[in-house]
Amino acid sequence: MEEQRKAVRAIMKLRAHHLLCTRLYEGRGYSEDFVLNMNRVVRELDDPEQEVQLLASPDDVCIACPNLGSAGSRCTLDNDNASGMDMKVCDALECRAGEIYISRELLERLKNKMTPELFETVCGECSWHKKGVCTYEDMIKKLR
């Protein structure tokens, strides 16, 4: 039965910086569709065996975001700064964009390798961080 469930589970596509966002997510978002989709992504990522393909481009979170450009290739809010954030997270976690990992492994790397300085570098310009929704301390608490 476990093998059947595993075979059916889709590989999650996730921007590297969205690893941080999913740990700090509190049920708020850009729209109702976004919130429903983000709830699903967070729930699936909480499965320790979920396969995750890290990306530096739009992902399963972005598909329901009203800020995804019409071509679906970039975020309209940041002139593609999100890709730079993704690469910083990949570097810090010693991962590569495009590779597939297990969620348990990614979250363990995040817990062990994320520093307050890196968090500020990655998230410092994010509107959610600027609003006080996200902090390094909260992320570390949620990862423990």
Q: Going residue by residue through the chain (144 aa), what tens digit of pLDDT does each one get?
A: 555 555 557 999 999 999 999 999 988 888 899 999 999 999 999 999 999 999 998 999 998 887 777 766 667 776 558 888 899 999 999 999 999 999 999 999 999 999 999 999 988 888 888 888 889 999 989 888
Three-state DSSP class for residue 131? coil
Q: Considering its fold, how many domains does the chain have in total?
A: 1
CA–CA separation, 105 vs 50, rounded Å? 10
**Structural domain for 90, as ranges:** 2-143
Q: Are 27 and 39 in contact (CB under 8 A)?
A: yes
